[in-house]
Structure 1
Amino acid sequence: MLKIIAILFLCLPCLLPANSKISLDVVCGRNEPTIRFPFHIRTLHQEQCGYPGFDVFCDGMNRTIIELPNMGNFSIQGIDYVDQQVWLNDPENCLPKKILSLNLSGSPFAGVYYHNFSFFNCSSDYRGYGPKPIACVSSDAFSIFATPLRGVHLSHLLRQQCRYIKTVAVPVQLPFFVHELSSDLSEDLRLTWNTPRCGRCTSRGSRCSLKANSKDEIECIDIPRQEVPRAARYAVTFGALVPALLCLIGLVCFVSGKVKSSSSRCPDLPSVSRLPPLPPSPRVPLGLRSSIVNSYPWIVLGESMRLPKPDDTACPICLSEYRPKDALRTIPECDHCFHATCVDEWLRLNSSCPVCRKCPAPQTGV
């Protein structure tokens, strides 16, 4: 079913009017730039859908490639159709090699901003200050440098056993040079085109196209807000409703199957009214009544510190040593001694001795 829906959506462009002059937007792959007039892909667009010199193609890695005269292939990194600018780089990841033979005279493109870079070939043991070698054009025997420096800095490089190669006007990203000493020249080349002039047409939401029976004259076509053909609406509606209906039927069948399997596994499940009563919860013992606690013997220590048990020198509850004038209380059943305030609070919450856990015998008539 998903395949049917995909086919229906792919067929929607085929339902557009056959006499439309506007070419469809296409891409070579994910995250690749959108291709429209004046660019066109040879295998996807007809010849009249593009302008001369703007032929591009998709390579085996789904990259968008344009071939410039005398310079070879470049990968298109981005396109601005309003400002008429394009960003190019080397698909082989060695842009400086192409810059050394840069020649845009045979293409429709030119740099937006230029900056002169001087190339030098230096010995491999060169360790002077300044630019770093360009790895993809250097070797173990020599190092290639590119620098925007001039004057005394160039003469310094020449004195350091470096051979001057050439100076190239490189199309850079910004109108000023932002690097301190050098650049590896790996950033995209920022180029523009003046012909055809479609920026103003594109900025107002229209599209450029070649005029009929012309190879270089263009016209600006307003994109009509055409209603989707009835056949396309029926196709989309059918493709959306059928899967939803099938999902609903499958969900109902799944739920009913679960209910039946549950009832078959438990045929003799008793009803709530026939379940045996729960046993009463065990009674949690509470502490002793205050009258019982107050009946236990207690003393006030004098200066002689005569304790009921000489070894009991500290209260087992608060772990503080007994001092003169402390009030002590003793549990009769075990003769364990405590601070009266400590054991009174304990026995109100617990009915056993905090040391031996022996429960005092109940006293009647108290």
Structure 2
Amino acid sequence: MLKRLAELSLRYDELNRRAQDPNLAKDPKQYKEVMREHARLSAAADAYREYRKLLKELDGAREVASAETDRDMREMAREELRALEARKADMEEALKTLLTPPDPLEEKNIIMEIRGGTGGDEAALFAADLFRMYARLAELKGWKYEVLGASETGLGGYKEISFSVSGKSVYGSLRWEAGVHRVQRVPETESQGRIHTSAVTVAVLPEAEETEIEIKPEDLRVDVMRAGGPGGQCVNTTDSAVRLTHLPTGLVVIQQDEKSQIKNKAKAMRVLRARLFDLEESKKQAERSAARKSMVGSGDRSERIRTYNFPQNRVTDHRINLTLYKLDQFMQGALGEMLDALNVSAKAEQLKAG
């Protein structure tokens, strides 16, 4: 661990020197990379300096404890030594966490896709509830969100809805939301008061920059058409809806929310780029060791991750066996405790895997 910390400290010093080079600012991409790595290593470099200082204090305390002849003074020195040893153990645990390799996607913005699954209208209504939950979380966190596309049902639900979320550590916070969310409650349309179980799938796609995913014009088929709304009615009377088909992968994105064909194509490209990026990242992860799959699961959309039980005001995450009896607050965006527990669990597994 000390060897790795020493290497990081040297790298941090090198980045410090590079950051002060006036020529660096002339290359915006390189400047961004240097400053991002500098910020990431800052905490580890500071902690390493504190740790080395503590080791010197420990050496001094050991010398005093062994050399002191006065009984009371020797006992005081031993007490100080015990306190320093405890502090050393705490610092080593903190340093291990800092040495966990960062996820390069941590700081990325995301595109979330929520789709009603088993349960028909009730699943669509819960999809709308989940969207509102994430929107409230975004407001609490100071993140921005934008609806990219939605397919509504007559009862106020969503067959599917996609939206972007941007801000600090969005992907790092929400990556574990991907999967199947199961709801247990009495639907408004249920006259007998019976509890129904429905399911909704959530996808969390790190949003890719144009430089990260190249989409060749010859790989893309663009179809324009008239936008349609619920019940077959027209949203507008111009051919503004856009369907993009990525020929190599067969991925299809349809965008029709905007009245402008240009705006619809731009939104569709964002979604397509995010899906292609997610596809690439999934392949990379599959190639890494199986140990990389942490306790919190793989993030696969077919995996049931959480149950929302409304009669009992209970939400349970099945990956970390955490149950909270405050579903009402949870649905208002108070996901902090759950998200923190998922991230702590993932980091612990990563450390275990080495």
TM-score range, shorter chain: under 0.3
Structure with the largest fraction of helix = 2
Considering only CA atoms, is the larger Rg found in Structure 1 or Structure 2?
1
Considering Cα pairs closer than 8 Å and 6+ residues apart, tell me whether 1 or 2 has the greater RCO.
Answer: 2
Give me the TM-score of the superposition, normalised by structure 2: 0.17
